[in-house]
Amino acid sequence: MGVRDFLPQAAARRRAIAERLLAEFERWGFERIITPLFECADVLERGLGADARAAAIRFVEPVTGEVVALRPDITPQVARLVATRLAEAGGPVRLCYEGAVARLTTGARGQREILQAGVELYGAGSPEGDAEAVSVAAAALAAAALPEVRLEVGHVALARHALAAVEGEAQRAAIALALLRKDRVGVARSAAGLQRPLRILLEALPGLYGEPRAVLGEARALRLPGAVRRAVDSLEEVLDSLEDVSLPLAIDLGEVRGFDYYTGIRLAGFVAGAGDAVLAGGRYDELAARYGRAVRAIGFAIDVEAIAEAQSTAGVPMPARAAGVLVVAPRARRREAGRLAAALRAAGARSAVDLGPLRGRRALVDYATRAGFTRVIELGPRGAFWIDEGGAVRPIGPGPLRRAIAGDVAGIGVP
């Protein structure tokens, strides 16, 4: 079905990634929101592109009988919020989120559940808003703690202008497919018969990729109409406005994915170990208007699962477990064990009482380690003892133990 469970360590990696991303977003002034997992299909799909509409999983809500859809993307939900409940907010609105989206996909996996974290910036135009989005995207990718990361910036104007000038639907589709594959030979073959200026532009698009200043220079050398040339100039303004972007940055002016959805700059982020972009987004100034309020907008989403898999491939260590104490006692001392565990929790430590059968110390330490506890306190007939992960045993005196059970754990040392 394309969905899966995550055991504690795998879940911890993904939660750590999501929290690190959200913390980075908040450092840039974005506020967290939570949107529903599903909503009325006609409302949700109003803000989706053609591909996302096709990927939406729909069902009939049994109470109301309405057709609802699981969200394949969170961006339209944010647009709805900004256009309605946040319509009176003054100035730019910065929102961030994390959550799961569900999509129908072709192939063996079919339905897929994807963990995302992203940002949406409403009410800020270009180049300032674009520059902020690029800077936040670069900071978020850097926070992924991976050795090889790069960010690509593009603009839909060139591809949109060139493809719109191709009158034949079949020929336009063939050219778009070749552009998607960055197949210059395929583009030239499919563009045969078009007027020479258009053919030159189409054949140049797959090669408009690489070092930003060089690519922008190549684009300006082409015969471009005024609006498209202004788009190229706006990209240069964005580059000039960037601050604190230390990641490798490339320009891609030949990308056609989503060009019917985006209205300006496009963003894509890549990391070693992931076969496709882990960050995708761009400017969509027409989106909020579909919900009743025209507001300029730019944003992006990051695939948390793809980042986690890339970290695993790169050998990035799992997040360190928080120190935890498992309190073990025979049934006659379980009440004492419970009070001690409560005192440890009040002092800020993870703590629980072992509810399993009594077992030897080695087996006890093995169980505690698997369950995420780094230390054990054993309350037995011969006294109380600390037991660490290596099996080393240290006694706890009766006085410190009594004070700890009463709430003063300083005497026994909270790990």
| Domain range annotation of the chain | 8-314, 324-411
Q: Bridge-partner residues for 129, per DSSP?
A: none
**Which residue carries 């790069």 as its tokens?**
150
Two tokens, residue 151: 């960010």
What b/e string do you get for 21-59 counting C-beta neighbours within 10 Å, with b at 16 or more?
A: bbebbeebebeebebeebbebeebbebbbeebbebbbee
Q: Bridge-partner residues for 199, per DSSP?
A: none
**Per-residue confidence (pLDDT) for residue 190, from 0 to 100:** 92
Chain centroid to CA 128: how far?
23
> Which residues are CB-contacts of 382 (< 8 A; sequence separation ≥ 6)?
none
Report residue 105: phi and psi, to 5°. Answer: -130, 160
Cα separation, 221 vs 268, whole angstroms: 25
Cα separation, 323 vs 348, whole angstroms: 10
SS3 content of the chain, % helix, strand, coil (to 5): 40, 20, 35
Burial label, 344 (beta-carbon count in 10 A; 0-12, 13-18, 19+): buried
72 neighbors 57 (Cβ within 8 angstroms): yes
Identify each DSSP E strand in 71-173 by its residue range: 93-103, 112-122, 149-155
Cα separation, 264 vs 284, whole angstroms: 7
C-alpha distances in angstroms, 91 versus 227, 230, 289, 391? Answer: 27, 26, 17, 59
**Per-residue confidence (pLDDT) for residue 298, from 0 to 100:** 96
**Per-residue confidence (pLDDT) for residue 2, from 0 to 100:** 67
**Per-residue confidence (pLDDT) for residue 287, from 0 to 100:** 93
Cα separation, 14 vs 4, whole angstroms: 13
Cα separation, 72 vs 80, whole angstroms: 15
Cα separation, 340 vs 336, whole angstroms: 6
What type of residue sits at position 183? D
Cα separation, 263 vs 266, whole angstroms: 9
Q: Which CATH superfamily hosts domain 324-411?
A: Anticodon-binding domain (3.40.50.800)
pLDDT per residue as tens, the chain (415 positions): 567 888 888 898 999 999 999 999 999 999 999 999 999 999 998 988 888 888 888 989 898 899 999 999 999 999 999 999 998 887 799 999 999 999 887 654 556 889 999 999 999 988 899 999 999 999 999 988 888 899 999 999 998 899 999 998 999 999 999 998 989 999 999 989 889 989 999 999 999 999 999 999 999 988 888 888 998 999 999 988 887 778 888 999 988 887 678 899 999 999 988 888 999 999 999 999 999 999 999 999 999 999 999 998 888 888 877 778 999 999 889 999 999 999 999 988 899 999 988 888 888 889 988 888 888 999 988 889 988 877 888 899 989 888 888 888 887 876 5
327 neighbors 341 (Cβ within 8 angstroms): yes
**Per-residue confidence (pLDDT) for residue 372, from 0 to 100:** 86
C-alpha distances in angstroms, 66 versus 49, 53, 72, 111? Answer: 22, 17, 18, 22
**Per-residue confidence (pLDDT) for residue 351, from 0 to 100:** 93
Is the bond leading into 127 cis (omega within 30 degrees of zero)? yes
Cα separation, 342 vs 100, whole angstroms: 34
> Which residues are CB-contacts of 54 (< 8 A; sequence separation ≥ 6)?
104
**Per-residue confidence (pLDDT) for residue 131, from 0 to 100:** 94
Cα separation, 272 vs 315, whole angstroms: 12
Angle between helices 334-346 and 398-405 (to 10 degrees): 70
Two tokens, residue 406: 């009463």
**Per-residue confidence (pLDDT) for residue 53, from 0 to 100:** 84
Q: Which CATH superfamily hosts domain 8-314?
A: Bira Bifunctional Protein; Domain 2 (3.30.930.10)
Cα separation, 273 vs 144, whole angstroms: 13
**Per-residue confidence (pLDDT) for residue 5, from 0 to 100:** 87
